[in-house]
């Protein structure tokens, strides 16, 4: 199952972590929601293979610990999503379709 491209309409904004918007539902540690808005990562399906972090030409992503999450113990956070150049490489390279980039959500 891929990230919902309309999450900003279908989910409630529940807060922020490290300056990044979090969209619910969140029930830690099993359910962590979607992090980011312009560049969004669905933490519930992210397997943390790191391809997006390693290949992003403008270093949008950083690692964050997510202990106890069933998919992985860490996730990639779009910490610097404002730097995104909309190249869509992260979207194309994610093996589980956990990332969405939408210029209209800047």
Q: Is 27 among the annotated ligand-binding positions?
A: no
95: annotated binding-site residue?
no
- Establish whether 69 is an annotated binding residue: no
* Cα separation, 90 vs 88, whole angstroms: 5
- Please state, in angstroms and rounded to a whole number, the distance separating the CA atoms of residues 67 and 3: 21
Contact predicate 7/36, CB 8 Å: no
| 53 labeled binding residue | no
89 marked ligand binding residue:
no
Tell how far CA 55 is from the center of its chain. 15
Q: Is 26 annotated as a binding residue?
A: no
Does 38 carry a binding-site annotation?
A: no
Binding positions are: 35, 46, 52, 56, 84, 87, 90, 94
Per the annotation, binding residues for [4Fe-4S] cluster are: 56, 84, 87, 90
Annotated binding site for Zn(2+), which residues?
35
């Amino acid at each position: 199952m891929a990230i919902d491209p309309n999450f900003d309409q279908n989910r409630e904004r529940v807060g922020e972590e490290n300056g990044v918007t979090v969209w619910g539902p969140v029930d830690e540690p099993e359910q962590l929601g979607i992090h980011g808005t312009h560049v969004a990562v669905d933490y519930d399906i992210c397997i943390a293979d790191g391809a997006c972090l390693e290949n992003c030409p403008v270093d949008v992503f950083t690692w964050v610990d997510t202990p106890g999450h069933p998919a992985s113990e860490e996730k990639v956070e779009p910490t610097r999503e404002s730097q995104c150049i909309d190249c869509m490489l992260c979207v194309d390279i994610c093996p589980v379709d956990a990332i969405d980039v939408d210029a209209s959500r800047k």
